[in-house]
Chain A
């Protein structure tokens, strides 16, 4: 006979009362597998201390990295997707949106803010890949258009951070026209001679590459990001061959002349400051 006997079989502690090591205390780099303290990883702008792998971060992290004292004004926060086509594939589109909103706590795949970066006023529009693959539908198109308009209105330089699989299929024709819409606003911005920096991160493909992402006065990218128009799978199927190592990497795109430079995330803020102060009038 034992001192303690279970009155009932099985585990009865509700999940919320379980005591575990707090989540996210440690970070393991998916590339080199090194384990580091999360605080250390964050301090390193979410790049691996060992192999410099740039973790796919979202708007909250970029705003914190870029804006002085993490102080910024977010705008156009109340936009969310409609369902103009009543699109249903294996799931209805509004259900997908709601599920994604719940999972990410975001309204859609982009957030806009303005504030000071090393003392310089800038407008930042930053995409969130966790929201349906950072896909561009009407909300993304409209918000990027409004970020451009904010720059037009204030004269503050514009930074768009892209991380997207391309257009959002569930908005079909509407999402295609967001490519046109964002390019239309950028045409006005460039006539006004307001600087526009496009930062491409991993991954930037499809309709995003073929519109605002490639239209920067400065097209820059984070190291090793996948950047292209067609996705690697589609190209592989078209040519019937495996793609060479490093194909469509930021380094490859730089080599072929479509990037101004590649920037390490830890240097991003400094580089922006230097660049913007050199071209300011």
Chain B
């Protein structure tokens, strides 16, 4: 039984109707093929209309869908072998940040990503995908290891933000993220970052400095979540839809702003409707992108990474007139 979002209700109703019709037909042994076909076409059209015209807020909802695949789901689906590696070698192992070496069609890759939980117990253990400083330091340790053994890095970003707790501050959340940003710029191996769900602020960026930064179609990436933005700018939690519109936080928005490098298409209705197809698409994208990035030598690659991010931003500069 799949979970439906509020705007998917009409689809859900038709799908229930379809299931009922099929069951009834089977029980009474009547032929309803024509009716089924009509209904199926209707559902198909409705889906196309709904998912073809998603508002920004609806995409945010899809990015948080309860059935959406998480980092480890993709890692297991993509890699033939995977060895998970734990710990930051300083304080502890952060369960909100996972990583390890995986092998995809003979290619060894360092996977790193935030991990969310599927049920209450898991969510608690994973801290809702909100990493502490030790999570960012674990990520950096693994990235440096990948560099040492000359293996490309793939990060999966899916977080509502870096954890804003007391211990996080005591252990230097700001410093941990800042260091990751700087160190990731100097990595001499290919780095691919893929936003697979939520990309909230510094917590996302902390593993988001890549030669190629890609977003799945129904994800968001911005400086703040629509809810928090609403609470700060409108002083109320009720303006999240408007905030989502104002922030222009979808994959399309981010691509047209030149802040990411590409979008990975999702199955109709979202990644969770066909995780297998989604994983296949991601796998192919990773392999193709690694191949492309290998065309540059290590120095060219990290310098062009620096160059790419250095150009981001929009401002006006008055030209001072020089007297003739």
Contacts and interface: CB of A to CB of B under 8 A. Distances in A.
A180 to B, nearest CB: 4
B96 to A, nearest CB: 14
Given A85-B248, A178-B313, A235-B165, A230 B233 contact: no
Given A174-B259, A180-B312, A243-B166, A85 B223 contact: no
A175 interface: yes
B324 interface: no
Contacts of B209: 180, 183-184
A154 B101 CA distance: 43
Contacts of A168: 223
Contact of A229 (B164, B179, B309, B313): B164
Given A211-B181, A228-B169, A258 B205 contact: no
Contacts of B224: 167, 169, 172
Given A82-B316, A181-B310, A190-B182, A172 B175 contact: no
Contact of A78 (B232, B312, B320): B320
A215 B182 contact: yes
Interface in A171-188: 171-181, 183-188
A214 interface: yes
Contacts of A234: 164
A17 interface: no
A181 B173 CA distance: 19
A257 B314 contact: no
A80 B314 CA distance: 9
A238 B313 contact: no
A226 B35 CA distance: 67
B318 interface: yes
Nearest to A187: B185
B263 interface: no
Contacts of B246: 85, 87-89, 172
B223 A210 contact: no
Residue among A169, A184, A215 with max Cβ neighbours from chain B (10 Å): A184
A139 interface: yes
A256 interface: yes
Interface size band for B = 35 or more
Contact of B169 (A80, A142, A171, A229): A229
A150 B229 CA distance: 35
A247 interface: yes
Given A169-B224, A177-B309, A238-B165, A186 B182 contact: yes
Residue among A145, A180, A212 with max Cβ neighbours from chain B (10 Å): A180
Contacts of A174: 257, 259, 312-314
B125 interface: no
Interface in B232-260: 232-234, 242-243, 246-249, 253-254, 257, 259
Contacts of A85: 246-248, 257
A174 to B, nearest CB: 6
B27 interface: no
A180 B191 CA distance: 15
Contacts of A256: 170-172
A178 to B, nearest CB: 6
B154 interface: no
Contact of B178 (A88, A173, A215, A227): A215
Interface size band for A = 35 or more
Interface string A142-156: 100100000000000
B97 to A, nearest CB: 16
B177 A173 contact: no
B168 interface: yes
B174 A138 contact: no
Interface in A200-237: 206-207, 209-215, 227-230, 234-235
Contacts of A139: 313, 315
Contacts of B254: 173
B169 A179 contact: no
Interface in B129-172: 162-166, 168-172
A230 B173 contact: yes
Interface string B302-315: 00011001101111
A59 interface: no
B50 interface: no
B163 to A, nearest CB: 8
B228 to A, nearest CB: 8
Contacts of B316: 79-82
B193 to A, nearest CB: 11
A115 interface: no
Contacts of A213: 174, 178
Contacts of A214: 172, 174-175, 178-179
Contacts of A210: 162, 173-174, 177-178, 181, 202, 206
Contact of A239 (B166, B243, B249): B166
B288 interface: no
B201 interface: yes
Given A187-B183, A256-B170, 16 more contacts: A82-B315, A89-B234, A89-B246, A138-B315, A167-B224, A171-B314, A172-B222, A173-B223, A176-B222, A180-B205, A184-B306, A185-B306, A185-B310, A230-B162, A243-B166, A256-B172
What 6 A-B pairs have minimum CB-CB distances, sorted nearest first?
Answer: A230-B164, A138-B313, A209-B174, A183-B181, A229-B174, A89-B233
9 contacts: A87-B246, A139-B315, A142-B313, A167-B224, A172-B223, A174-B259, A184-B185, A210-B177, A235-B166
